[in-house]
Amino acid sequence: MNLLDNSWRPKDGLEVEDIGDEVLIYLTGDDKTLYLNDTAALVWRLCDGTRTGTEIVKLLIEAYPDAEPEIQSQVLEALSDFMTRGIVESGP
């Protein structure tokens, strides 16, 4: 599966706290908290079910043109981590 081709949205039932540039996600059942740094939090906020990974990359490149060389790999890493942790799912 190419992570950039799919649209992504948070899984239902997550408790999320937005704290400035960062995000805390409380994983129900595991009694754990997932901390997203500013980069991962940006990707997370753009995962609303309406954007593909490619569209997220394009938006971030527009917002941070100086970081263009690293953005695609950072988005892929974040999406992969989100999937592994079970906090996003593909689709609208």
- What is the pTM (predicted TM-score) of this model? 0.89
**Angle value at C-alpha 73, between 69 and 77, nearest 5 degrees:** 155
Each residue's pLDDT tens digit, 14-60: 899 999 899 999 987 777 889 999 999 999 999 999 999 999 999 99
**Do residues 15 and 68 make contact, with C-beta atoms less than 8 angstroms apart?**
no
11 three-class SS: coil
Highest CATH level, class, for 12-85? mainly alpha
Q: How many residues does the chain have?
A: 92
